[in-house]
């Protein structure tokens, strides 16, 4: 099974001897191992060079990557390859970044092509990417295009989890052949929803990993002569956290099933709202249970919690997405609300 393969591979690469090896920085050798296993093509349709994995199984690899705190743009590369493949752009290989927003990034007609001089803030892993896959547009269908490092200016930044989030300024003229439109029916907002779905699925994985670790800690840490997990107050916290983990897991299922489906925008939105809440609440409980040791860089808890704090913000936070759901729901009236929910 590809899930087991991926899990073992991530474990071997990033947790040798049970200690996370993501520090101190980028290791292209490890990326090459992931790439030669074919995993970055998991979302690519079979007729475009993929290996015919069901979409939900492909997206589940993102959860597995998050369980193992994989310090590479794994989710981003899956999405970028998928975008390029469905638009008919040849796949460049290597780690990929994505520059997408709720609307196409603006380009301007210039000579025989289009000037692309937009700024794209907090672009994930851009400095390490072989290409940045951007969704651009100018009065026509949004188009996917692959931009190389020589066509951008990069200003380094990172999220709370220490993952690269670089500010880019694109500086190139795209000729029409490099821009391939999204298949009809899909809009930029749907691709933005796909990016939100990646974060939902990653959140589910990180909470799962964090829950297991927090339970083990509560079973091992002894105070007052017994493991702290024997105290009802601590049991209560962990039971609540298991609920948040369940919510995130369900949100991840929903996000995967609604991925790139323009009829299910509300489902994607609901998944991100729920994952946002679960992320913050779980991280708070995990830190409470771990006490002071979890507040240090020496302990691996922060690998999960700081990423959760970051991922809940990216590609629309819960507030942004809940406003969209609410605005639509409030137009439904008392009788329309339930059908609105069952159709989501």
Partner 1 sequence: MELPRFPRPRVDESAQLRAEVRAFLAKELADRPARERAKSWTAFDPGFSRKLADRGWIGMTWPKAYGGHERSAFERYLVQEELLAAGAPVAAHWIADRQSGPLLLRYGTEEQRKTFLPRIAAGDCFFCIGMSEPDSGSDLAATRTRAVPVEGGFRVNGAKVWTSHAHEAHFMVLFCKTGTGHERHADASQFIVDLRAAGIEIRPIRILTGEHHFNEVVFRDAFLPHSSLVGTQGGGWSQVMSELVFERSGPERFLSSFPLLASLVEEVGPEHSSSAPADIGRLVAQLIVLRQLSRSVAGVLDTGGEPAVEASIVKDIGTGFEQLVPEIARKLVSIDLAARENREFAAAFACTQYHAPSFSLRGGTREILRGIIARGLGLR
Binding site for partner 1 (CB under 8 A): 56, 208, 211-212, 215-216, 218-219, 229-230, 232, 234-236, 238-240, 242-243, 245-247, 249-251, 253-254, 257, 266-267, 269-271, 273-274, 277, 318-319, 321-327, 329-335, 337-342, 344
Query: What is the spatial distance between Cα 28 and Cα 118, in angstroms, rounded to a whole number?
Result: 28
Q: Which is nearer to partner 1, 105 or 196 (CB)?
A: 196
Centre a 10 Å sphere on the Cβ of residue 100 and count the other Cβ atoms it contains: 25
Residue closer to partner 1 by CB (options 59, 152) is: 59
Instruction: Supply the minimum distance, in Å, between the C-beta of residue 95 and partner 1.
Output: 30
Whole-number Å distance between alpha carbons of 344 and 338: 10
* 19, 220, 238, 280, 295 from 299: Cα distances, Å: 10, 15, 19, 19, 8
Place of tokens 């991925």: 259
Cβ at position 63, least distance to partner 1 in Å: 13
Q: Which is nearer to partner 1, 132 or 249 (CB)?
A: 249
Beta carbon nearer to partner 1, 41 or 198 = 198
Q: At what angle do helices 188-220 and 55-67 cross, to 10 degrees?
A: 40
Residues in Cβ contact with 36 at an 8 Å cutoff, skipping those fewer than 6 apart? none
CB 84, min distance to partner 1, A = 28
Residue (112 or 331) nearer to partner 1, CB: 331
Q: Shortest Cβ distance from residue 60 to partner 1 (Å)?
A: 10
* CB atoms inside a 10 Å sphere around CB 313: 17
Nearer to partner 1, 102 or 151 (CB): 102
**Minimum CB distance to partner 1, residue 58 (Å):** 15
SS3 13: helix
Min separation Cβ 283 and partner 1, Å: 17
Give the DSSP letter of residue 295. Answer: G
């Amino acid at each position: 099974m590809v899930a087991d393969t991926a899990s073992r591979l991530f474990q071997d690469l990033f947790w040798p001897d049970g200690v996370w090896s993501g520090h101190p920085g980028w290791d292209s050798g490890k990326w090459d191992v992931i790439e030669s296993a074919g995993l970055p093509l998991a979302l690519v349709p079979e007729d475009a060079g993929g290996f015919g994995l069901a979409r939900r199984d492909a997206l589940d690899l993102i959860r597995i990557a998050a369980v193992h705190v994989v310090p590479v743009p794994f989710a981003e590369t899956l999405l970028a390859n998928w975008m390029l493949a469905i638009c008919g752009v040849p796949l460049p290989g290597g780690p990929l970044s994505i520059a997408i927003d709720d609307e196409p990034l603006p380009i301007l007609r210039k000579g025989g092509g289009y000037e692309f001089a937009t700024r794209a803030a907090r672009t994930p892993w851009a400095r390490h990417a072989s290409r940045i896959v951007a969704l651009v547009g100018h009065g026509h269908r949004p188009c996917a295009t692959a931009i190389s490092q020589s066509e951008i200016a990069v200003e380094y930044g990172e999220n709370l989890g220490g993952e690269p989030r670089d500010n880019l300024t694109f500086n190139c003229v795209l000729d029409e052949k490099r821009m391939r439109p999204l298949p009809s029916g899909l809009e930029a907002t749907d691709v933005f929803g796909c990016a939100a779905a990646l974060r939902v699925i990653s959140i589910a994985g990180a909470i799962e990993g964090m829950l297991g670790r927090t339970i083990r800690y509560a079973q091992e840490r002894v105070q007052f002569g017994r493991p702290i997990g024997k105290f009802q107050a601590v049991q209560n916290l962990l039971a609540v956290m298991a609920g948040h983990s369940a919510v995130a897991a369900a949100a991840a299922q929903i996000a995967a099933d609604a991925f790139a489906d323009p009829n299910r925008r509300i489902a994607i939105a609901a998944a991100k709202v729920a994952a946002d809440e679960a992320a913050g609440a779980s991280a708070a409980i995990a830190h409470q249970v771990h006490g002071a040791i979890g507040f240090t860089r020496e302990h691996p808890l922060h690998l999960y919690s700081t990423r959760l704090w970051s991922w809940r913000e990216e590609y629309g936070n819960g507030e942004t997405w809940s406003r969209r759901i609410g605005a639509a729901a409030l137009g439904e009236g008392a009788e329309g609300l339930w059908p609105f929910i069952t159709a989501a």
